[in-house]
Amino acid sequence: MVFAKEKHPVKEKAQPFVHRHANSNSIAILIHGFTGSPYDMRELADFLHNQGVDVMAVRLAGHGTNIEDLMAMNYEDWVLSVDAVVREAEKESKRIFLIGYSFGANLALELASRNPKRYDGIVCLGTSIYWQQRWYYFVLYHLFKLFGIDKVRKPYVPKFQIESWESTGNYADFPTKGLGEFRDIVTKRTQDLLPRVTTPVLILHSRGDRISHPKSSDYVFEHVNSQYKEMFVLPELNHNPLRSENKDRIFNRVARFIEA
């Protein structure tokens, strides 16, 4: 899917993808995080497909191209990115599961809050509500705004890795222009919508997540109104548990949730 406001081509590894299975009765819609790309979800996608699940990976608007495109987008653009894929999935009359990583988990919760009966389950990996070192980002946002700085290099991306990082469609920079809206989305908006979520939910979070505080997932678990909800705290240091040493354990848990 190409978005009207995008001015740059999508990088090859950042293309959305679909894996079909002949006898599947379930579709997993995978949603990557902010500044990420569908590439981040490939290993999980391959695993689920091998388990007999259809997979559709979303590319969020403004992602996987050039950071200038991302800065032209807003929250509804990202919601519509997911909704468009859901509409395609609905044509097949199969069970639909949303699986979101980081900001993708926030979007999964957003979609589920708007129409809970539309989905058979949602999986939230490293949901972002509370940030680690929140004061640091608050100060940076106002400094960047004051000096007209519209993007900044991510401190955890070494210079020698920038090329390989961006070849997958991930951005090595963070757009400060949208930082204020993004901060509002991952805090108040997500908190406000949680009581409207009644879809079964599986929540996973790394204990040592250095970006999104683990209490974010505690908050989700406590405030969704799902009759069935599970939470697993993982002994990882990564923000992205899909890249951890225990990723097979995570993949299996997600597959069991879909099969249940």
| Catalytic option among 19, 205, 213, 239 | 239
Q: Name the maximum alpha-carbon separation found in the chain.
A: 56
Cα 127 versus chain centre, distance: 8
Cα Rg, the chain, nearest whole Å: 17
Torsion of CA 241, 193, 216, 157, to 10 degrees: 50
Whether 199 contacts 171, CB under 8 Å: no
Cα 157 versus chain centre, distance: 19
CA angle 116, 17, 6 (to 5 degrees): 85
For the chain, counts of helices (H) and of strands (E)? 10, 9
Q: Is 54 a catalytic residue?
A: no
Q: Is 32 a catalytic residue?
A: no
| Catalytic option among 102, 113, 212, 226 | 102
| Catalytic option among 209, 212, 217, 226 | 209
Q: Is 102 a catalytic residue?
A: yes
Q: Which residues are designated catalytic?
A: 102, 209, 239
